[in-house]
A and B are shown apart, each in its own frame.
Chain A
Amino acid sequence: MAMLHIVNKSVFERGTLDSCLKSSLSGSSILFIEDAVVSAVNNTAVSDKIKAELSSKNFYVLTPDLNARGFTDADLIEGIKGVDYAGFVDLVADNSNVQSWL
């Protein structure tokens, strides 16, 4: 069983995503919520950094938070999955532990 990492701050404003990417093991899952959803949008200055980890980790975005900021799942980096609140609960239930990167 793997760990779920939850990131809630924009990658452009805080270093929490970088820390999370460095500290998380292969096979773990990373979920972007709140202001962090902008980090998962394609064609940004940081999208290559996330693309480099797509083969070893699972990436998710909370779609309601993404929609609030004017983006849809179609704007995400390919390979990142949008989840609703029920999907959020499933991720918490399906992983052995959760770490929040505040």
Chain B
Amino acid sequence: MDGEGQTKKFMFVNRKVPYGTVYALESLEVVLISAAFDQDVSLAFVDDGVYQLKNGQSTDGIGMKNFSPTYKALGDYDINKLYVEKESLEERGLSLDDLMELTYEDEDDDWAEKTSIILVSREELAEVMDQQDVLISS
């Protein structure tokens, strides 16, 4: 049995466009809950999941809450590994410039502000996924 206080590597994998289904919002809610359990948490944005980080989201016209600013708070919860798959961006005509600026303050480097977004290839992401203890998909 697992000992108490053991830290596991959790990765939340996001593959859906936001707003059309509830997957993106639900995943984000669980990520925020997981922050309370002192685990090693990372997020992956793959396929249509890259749209969740698109800048300039404006939901005034559809009567839904724009939850994209919440991603900017993740750094304050020590969630600062947001893997974005390069091929998924390219297939959609997007680059890092089209995504929100997501940062955290590195306590090991005099609280320097650093980007939370890690651009990885499909192959590199497969390696990172392979190192996880738990993968949660949405």
Kindly state the separation between the CA atoms of A13 and B60 in the bound complex, as whole angstroms. 26
Seen from chain A, the residues whose Cβ lies within 8 Å of a Cβ on chain B are 8-10, 12-13, 34-36, 38, 41-45, 47, 63-65, 67-72, 84
Tell yes or no: B92 within 8 A of A by CB: yes
Question: Can you list 5 A-B pairs with a CB-CB distance of less than 8 A?
Answer: A12-B92, A44-B92, A67-B57, A67-B61, A70-B58
Contact B58 A67 (CB under 8 A): yes
Seen from chain B, the residues whose Cβ lies within 8 Å of a Cβ on chain A are 15-21, 47-48, 51, 54-62, 64, 66, 68, 90-93, 98
Contact B61 A63 (CB under 8 A): yes
Chain A interface main SS type: loop
Contact B91 A12 (CB under 8 A): yes
Contact A44 B19 (CB under 8 A): no
Contact B47 A69 (CB under 8 A): no
* A68-B57, A69-B57, A70-B56 as given contacts; A38 in contact with B16, CB under 8 Å: no
